[in-house]
Amino acid sequence: MSLLLPMQSGLLPEGLNVSFKLIPAILVLAMLGLFLVIGFVFKVADTEGMWVAGRSIGNVENGMAIGANWMSAASYLGMAALIALSGFYGLAFVVGWSTGYFILLIFMAAQMRRFGKYTAPDFVGDRYNSDTARAIAAVTTFLIGFVYAIGQARGMGLVGLYIFGDLGILGLTGYQSMVVFMMTITVGYLSISGMMGATKNMAVQYVILIVAFLAGLYVVGYVNGYSTVLPHIEYGEMFSVLSNEFSEPFVHQSYYLWIATAFSLVVGTCGLPHVLVRFYTVESERTARWSTVWGLGFICLLYLSSPAFAAFGTDLYSNQIGDVYGDPGMTSAAGDVIVVLAAQLSNLPTWFVGLVAAGGIAAAIATVAGLFIAGSSAISHDIYANIINPDATQRQQVLVGRLSIVALGVITTLAALNPAAPIAALVSYAFSLAGAVLFPMFFLGLWWENTNRQGALAGMTTGLIIWIIPMINEVLPTYVSSLDSTISPVLAQWVPAIGSALVAVPVVFIVTIAVSLATEEPDMETKRLVRQCHSPEPMDRMESAEEVVSTDGGEDVEGGDA
């Protein structure tokens, strides 16, 4: 098999002003410098501090951390891109990525907080008493970080072109050079700061990216006469001038794909390890609930703006560059920077366009931070310390954690040099994976005490297989020169990589439940662990369900004599 490293992928957004610009470059570097300084001040060396920032974060701050962690280049750039390019189908991303938080809230947020484990593999390993299950969850977490980050790298590479121009590193194209450059910065920053720094950064990052995005939206809307005080609603007036393809349903993609995509994104939201880790860092389960509500609110600020930004960008593009739809139409590279392009086409000063671009980079870095930490802790904590070397010292664990971050950075960079799809689609592959493998384990593990080890192992394996098949079918051919574009179009139609969780989730549920029923029930201690997650009794700040169950059952004292 000939795995070729593509050396001439020349992703180049048409219309984008690609050159080195001093003030925007200073803005980005100052921002990254600020992140590093904050990261340095809160630098931590012990593993505990690396993984969760000491459970002392309140509603609003944690809500912002959820928002920053969540809103990646896919939200900031990719969503507007798909709305511009694929019209009504793009809204499946708006819906899937926001409304999924409600499912997370009602079924999982507080229960996860009560379970009290740091990572997704920890949850799976402890709930199902199985190191194999833990290892599968750890590998899944690592894979999610990798796939998810490819989209971020693509976003940083494209936006970086506006700010830094064509760096021309080692004969790579401008886009590829920028991917290498931005990923180097991200990994360097991450390796130093660890999660304490990342968490403290996250409120800052959220503020930077939401201010940049909203400023861009308001100013672009105002100078072009599209909108005044509420662009989120005012873009409605533009539908009469925008091309039909912008809003007409099911012209770009089918109803089935719309549902598959939205469903996949919803369950993926509930299965993403770097999202769930946010609930372990809060004081109480009530804070877990309310910070989810705040988080969704902070996310909606951007998600309600995105379609408006896409409408502005689409109109500017068609007036100044050419037809958005049809042949040749807008390329996916231009789509992915439509937010920056809209600001540039409005003839705004470069520092302002640079601010909008810097927000996109902030979004990407904040998310890659969360992803790589979840991925590296899966390797160092769950695979290395738990399975390979149980006597590992903290120093060894931290070292392995940092090496895995570098490894993630390298493979992400390589895969992003010639990405298979637009940002939002790349990220959706990770959501399909999280939804297919981890979501059913979290959901059944928390809501049905009889889910057992055998069921979990069978279910996770099934989920992985159902995820991998469409990935091989649709995505692998991009990287393997001897394969055609899509191996089986029929399979791609019914089990699309972008929404494979629609098929995977029901199958995994059935397999997990059937195998659990056919094998021995879990022991009483495990059942009590699950019960403790749902008990309305408050728990102490640092308590996990396991501790409560193994001491005295955590039941009320006063009730005993009643």
Partner 1 sequence: MTENNRHDSDGERTAPDGGTTAAQRHRETNYLEEEVNLLKPSTEFMRDHLRLIWTGFIIWAVLVFGPVTATALAPETMTMTIPGGFPLHYFLVAIGAPAGALILSVWYARRRDALDEKYGISHGGDA
Which 464-483 positions form the footprint of partner 1 (CB under 8 A)? none
Q: Which stretch binds partner 1 (CB under 8 A): 146-154, 360-368, 484-492, 536-544?
A: 536-544
Residue 537 in the binding site for partner 1 (CB under 8 A)? yes
Quote the least distance from Cβ 527 to partner 1, whole Å.
Answer: 8
Quote the least distance from Cβ 318 to partner 1, whole Å.
Answer: 18
Q: How far apart are CA 372 and CA 141, in angstroms?
A: 9
Nearer to partner 1, 40 or 250 (CB): 250
Residue 535 in the binding site for partner 1 (CB under 8 A)? yes
Contact (CB, 8 A) for 462 and 511:
yes
Does the CA dihedral 362-366-367-371 come out positive or negative? positive
For partner 1, the binding residue among 75, 428, 532, 544 (CB under 8 A) is: 532
Tokens matching residue 119 = 């990572």
Residue 55 in the binding site for partner 1 (CB under 8 A)? no
Quote the least distance from Cβ 168 to partner 1, whole Å.
Answer: 40
Quote the least distance from Cβ 550 to partner 1, whole Å.
Answer: 6
Nearer to partner 1, 119 or 532 (CB): 532
Nearer to partner 1, 153 or 549 (CB): 549
Q: Which stretch binds partner 1 (CB under 8 A): 182-190, 393-401, 487-495, 553-561?
A: 553-561
Please, what is the end-to-end C-alpha distance for the chain in angstroms?
Answer: 72
Element (DSSP H or E) covering residue 168: none
Nearer to partner 1, 58 or 322 (CB): 58
Site string for partner 1, 280-319 (x = CB under 8 A): ---xxxxx-xx-xx--xx--x--xx--x------------
Contact (CB, 8 A) for 264 and 501:
yes
Contact (CB, 8 A) for 138 and 121:
yes
Q: For residue 344, give Cα distances in angstroms to 13, 96, 308, 335, 561.
A: 13, 29, 16, 14, 72
Contact (CB, 8 A) for 549 and 528:
yes
C-beta neighbour count of 451 within 10 angstroms? 27
**Which residues, at least 6 apart from 8, have a Cβ–Cβ distance to it below 8 Å?**
173
Residue 530 in the binding site for partner 1 (CB under 8 A)? yes
Residue 21 in the binding site for partner 1 (CB under 8 A)? no
Site for partner 1 in 96-115 (CB under 8 A): 98-99, 101-103, 105-107
Site for partner 1 in 236-275 (CB under 8 A): 236-240, 247-250, 255, 258-259, 262, 266
Nearer to partner 1, 92 or 358 (CB): 92
Nearer to partner 1, 488 or 535 (CB): 535
Quote the least distance from Cβ 204 to partner 1, whole Å.
Answer: 22
Contact (CB, 8 A) for 224 and 344:
no
Residue 225 in the binding site for partner 1 (CB under 8 A)? no
Q: How many residues bind partner 1 (CB under 8 A)?
A: 75
Nearer to partner 1, 1 or 557 (CB): 557
Quote the least distance from Cβ 134 to partner 1, whole Å.
Answer: 22
Quote the least distance from Cβ 257 to partner 1, whole Å.
Answer: 11
Quote the least distance from Cβ 302 to partner 1, whole Å.
Answer: 10
Nearer to partner 1, 252 or 477 (CB): 252
Residue 412 in the binding site for partner 1 (CB under 8 A)? no
Q: For residue 243, give Cα distances in angstroms to 249, 254, 314, 317.
A: 13, 19, 9, 12
**Which residues, at least 6 apart from 80, have a Cβ–Cβ distance to it below 8 Å?**
306, 307, 309, 310, 313, 338, 339
Site for partner 1 in 62-101 (CB under 8 A): 88, 91-92, 94-95, 98-99, 101
C-beta neighbour count of 365 within 10 angstroms? 27
For partner 1, the binding residue among 450, 461, 478, 488 (CB under 8 A) is: 450
Nearer to partner 1, 215 or 300 (CB): 300
Quote the least distance from Cβ 228 to partner 1, whole Å.
Answer: 14
Radius of gyration of the chain (CA): 23
Site for partner 1 in 182-221 (CB under 8 A): none
Nearer to partner 1, 473 or 516 (CB): 516
Select from 66, 493, 31 the least CA-distant residue to 299.
66
Contact (CB, 8 A) for 463 and 436:
yes
Tokens matching residue 307 = 């379609």
Q: Which stretch binds partner 1 (CB under 8 A): 128-136, 415-423, 489-497, 551-559?
A: 551-559
Nearer to partner 1, 43 or 286 (CB): 286
Element (DSSP H or E) covering residue 461: helix 453-470
Q: How far apart are CA 21 and CA 24, in angstroms?
A: 6
Nearer to partner 1, 285 or 336 (CB): 285
Nearer to partner 1, 87 or 145 (CB): 87
Element (DSSP H or E) covering residue 182: helix 174-223
Tokens matching residue 114 = 């009560």
Q: How far apart are CA 52 and CA 57, in angstroms?
A: 11
Q: How far apart are CA 247 and CA 255, in angstroms?
A: 14
**Which residues, at least 6 apart from 185, have a Cβ–Cβ distance to it below 8 Å?**
32, 365
For partner 1, the binding residue among 4, 223, 233, 518 (CB under 8 A) is: 233
Nearer to partner 1, 163 or 511 (CB): 511
Quote the least distance from Cβ 303 to partner 1, whole Å.
Answer: 5
